[in-house]
Each structure stands twice: as structure tokens, then as C-alpha cells.
Structure 1
Amino acid sequence: MFDPTSRYHGIATTTLTTPDGRTVTYVRRRFLPQPEDLMSVGTQVVEPGDRLDRIAARQYGAPEQAWRIADANGAIRPEDLTSVPGRRLRIALPAGVPGSLPMAMNPAPS
């Protein structure tokens, strides 16, 4: 139902029957991941006038991926993330995407 890059991809839908007999399909609640459970891939320093969608465009190549930065930084109000220039934002992979193993655990090429 949702594009694979959507924050709602993979979330189940359910239905509700209204008192007048109509069936309404909706997406179940999306629970925010714990930021420490996400694989960090970098940081971004907030510049004066930055917006989360612009940072997402620079980091992920797509402004609509701003939700990934909000998740990685535990933001309830995403606009707060860019309100203070100089703040360091975590850039992370979305929940469920495994990161690479540390170099010591990766087998050497033969």
C-alpha cells in the first residue's frame, strides 16, 4: 500500500465499520523506534536557516525522508531539530535495516 521508502511501509492496516455501515480502512499506529536501536551512519550540523527536508535531501537524496532524521534523533516535534544552529543531528538507517558489521567481525576477502 505504501512505497518502500515511506515511514508507513510494512505497517498493517485494519478496518472499522461505522454506525451507518460504511467500512473504513486505516493504517495502524506507527510506534517510533528507539534512536539507540538505529544504525548511525553519520552526523549533520544544523546551519542557520536549515530545514529538515533540506537536510534529508542532502543526506538521503530525498526530502521526504526527513522522518528518518526525526526518528534517529527521537524528535516528537521535528521542527525543533533545526531551531538551533550548530546542533548535531544523527543520520541513521531506518528501523529494521541492518548495518554493516564492525571491521573486526567482517571476514577478510580471500
Structure 2
Amino acid sequence: MADIEPYENALDAIPGAHPYPRTSRYHDAEIGIHRQADGTEVRYAKRRLLPPIEDRTGDDTQSHTVRTGERPDLLGRRYFGDPGQWWQIADANPVLDPRELTDEPGREIDVPLAGHFPRSPQGDRRG
């Protein structure tokens, strides 16, 4: 990805620099702290909200017709070069379970264009 600063790749390799890698769907999720009765702190990712679908324009996505045998991870590899990026496609379509994306051959689904899908409403913490 050309738009990512080289130092961010180095930060991903440092334990504790980011709770989740930059490619994770939880990278921008706010981290909460729950304090147990004994004082122990438990960190957790707060609820991750999806960008509103109506905020997208036709320039943000491309259409894909599902073929027999396709899976979300295969689409992630095809469109983003990383099978772990299936979540970007799931976020762009109103499905509860990512398997719904590919369970019906012939279905038209939206695939966000790299760098065009809106960030989560919680914002981009990287500045």
C-alpha cells in the first residue's frame, strides 16, 4: 500500500505499539478498560460501528457477481491481496454473517475500492 508511511509498518512489529495490526478491522476500535473487583484491569475493544451504507457513493465500490465456490476470504485475496481483508467486503454489504456474501451464486455484492471505503464513525486514531 503506497499511502502508508514506512514507520507504521515498523510499529506493527513492536509488541504493544497497536492493540491490533493496521490491517485488522479492529485497528480503529476504541480500547476500553474494565476494572475488576480486585483492581485488575482488563482491556477490551469497544463495539466497532460500521460506516453507514447510505454514506457511500457509487465511486466507493465496484460490483461483484458471486460465483459457485467463492468464499469471503478468497474475495479478500482477489480484491485486496490479503484473505484477511474479507471484512472490508462484509462491511460494505448488509449481512449478519460473512458467509451470506457468497452463499448464493449470482448475487451482486459491493466491493469497496482500496482506500475509498469510509472509516468507522469512531474516527482514525492515527492522526
TM superposition shift of 1:44:
1.3
1:33-48 matches, within 5 Å, as 33-39=51-57, 40-48=60-68
Q: Show the counterpart of 1:73.
A: 93
RMSD of aligned Cα (Å): 1.7
Instruction: State how far apart, in whole Å, the 1-side matches of 2:118 and 2:95 are.
Output: 15
TM-score (norm 1): 0.78
TM superposition shift of 1:3:
1.9
Of 12, 15, 22 in structure 2, the residue corresponding to residue 4 of structure 1 is 22
| 3-state SS of 2:27 partner | coil
- Contact 1:34–1:74 under 8 Å retained in 2: no
| 3-state SS of 2:117 partner | coil
Which 5+ residue runs of structure 2 have no aligned equivalent?
1-17, 121-127
TM superposition shift of 1:57:
0.6
Aligned residue pairs, count: 97
- Contact 1:56–1:62 under 8 Å retained in 2: yes
Cα deviation 1:70-100 (Å, max 9, x = unaligned) = 1111221111111100111101133239xxx
Which 5+ residue runs of structure 1 have no aligned equivalent?
98-110
Instruction: State how far apart, in whole Å, the 2-side matches of 1:9 and 1:56 are.
Output: 17
Instruction: State how far apart, in whole Å, the 2-side matches of 1:35 and 1:63 are.
Output: 23
Instruction: Give the counterpart letter for 1:62 in structure 2.
Output: D
- Runs of 4+ in structure 1 over 6 Å off: none
TM-score (norm 2): 0.69
Deviating more after overlay: 33-42 vs 80-89: 33-42
Of 75, 80, 104 in structure 2, the residue corresponding to residue 60 of structure 1 is 80
| 3-state SS of 1:36 partner | helix
